Amino acid sequence: MSNTGNYVNKLSIYGLMNSNCKILVNKLGFWKTKNHNKLVLCEDNIDNIDLSNTLKISMMYLDKVNHNKEFWNSNGYEMSKITETEEIFSYIDKDFFNKLNRTNNKEVYETLRKYDNWKMINKMFVVDYSDDIYDDILIMIKEWATTSGKKYGFLRHDGIDKAFFKRLKDKEINKDLYDIRIYKIEDKVVGYSVIEHNSSFENNGYIYLIRKSLIDYRNLCLYIDYDTFREKLNYENNIIVNWGCSSGGVKKYKLSKFKLAYIKKLYFYNLNKKQS
């Protein structure tokens, strides 16, 4: 298989971090809490990390598990059950949009037509991120959390989205490294998407960080996804989109609404400090 690119890199990792998280300088990971008692690592090298206060280590998005239980026992940690999951990659090309019609994909055709028409008559606007729109984005995220976000429970991750935009506002991360599309209907923010600006793996591959939309508008989520990818095709003939790992209805959505490029197996597990 060609270089598919792990979902987590130095840019996309901010799509996993809430406001309490602090990124590691020389490792692909972050402290999940301010007192450093919880660590998230997206590589299996723990060298030169001070774990004196660390009670739990979450290992995420690993291509393989190199460290066995004996290794972790000798370091004072008990390894939890390893979870094997799947990272999903979609293939999008210009041909799809050029040949799109009611016969071959009625849902996408009608969704794109509807909201594209809304843009033509200035009912919908797509704008770049700016600090002026920051408060409106937070209002939208709060509404999302109390409506459609309820079905995701503790996996809804709205805190991660709020933290991402706060880091943009505070200039902690460079907005020019991302393509950020803010969707407004009339004067209200109703959705957004964030994808890498530059390809980070082979075959014009891009990591899709975060995306949300309000439930009030039918298939707006689908529109935002396709519109985001279509924008990328202004510069490429085709792209690969790395969605990361998911399960349940979210996984089904990715597999059923977009052409599958390939699936990659990844591994997650937790380590808990032994009681002395």
In a domain, 138, yes or no: yes
177 and 63 belong to one structural domain:
no
Residue 156, pLDDT score: 54
72 and 104: one domain?
Answer: no
Question: In which element (H, E) is residue 175 found?
Answer: none
pLDDT digits (tens, 9 = 90+) for 83-139: 999 999 999 999 999 999 999 999 999 999 999 999 999 999 999 999 999 999 999
Give the pLDDT of residue 79.
85
Q: Are residues 65 and 173 in the same domain?
A: no
The residue with greater pLDDT, 28 or 74, is 28
pLDDT tens-place string over residues 43-61: 888 888 999 999 999 999 9
Q: Say whether both 223 and 101 belong to one domain.
A: yes
Backbone angles phi, psi at 246, to 5 degrees: -160, 175
| Residues forming beta bridges with residue 203, ordered by sequence position | none
Predicted local confidence at residue 154, as pLDDT: 45
User: Residue 101: how many CA atoms within 13 Å on its side-chain side?
Assistant: 2
**What integer pLDDT is reported at residue 172 of this predicted model?**
95
**Domain span including residue 19:** 12-86+267-273
Judge if 69 and 142 occupy the same domain.
no
Which residues, 6 or more positions from 17, have their beta carbon under 8 angstroms from its beta carbon?
23, 30, 160, 163, 164
Within 208-247, residue ranges assigned H as helices are: 220-232
- Label the pairing between strands 56-62 and 205-213: unpaired
Range in 70-84, 177-191, 233-247 the model is least confident about? 70-84
DSSP 201: B
Instruction: Tell me, yes or no, whether 205 and 74 share the same domain.
Output: no
Pairwise pLDDT comparison (162 vs 3), residue with the higher score: 162
- Separation of alpha carbons 183 and 189, rounded Å: 6
**210 domain-assigned:** yes
> Any idea what the CATH number is for the domain that residue 174 is in?
3.40.630.30
Coil, strand, or helix at residue 13?
helix
Spell out a b/e string for 87-106, using b for 16 or more CB atoms within 10 Å of the CB, else e: bbbbebeeebeeebeeeeee
Q: What's the number of domains the chain is made of?
A: 2
pTM here? 0.93
Domain-embedded: residue 6 = no
Q: For the chain, give the percent of residues with pLDDT over 70.
A: 94
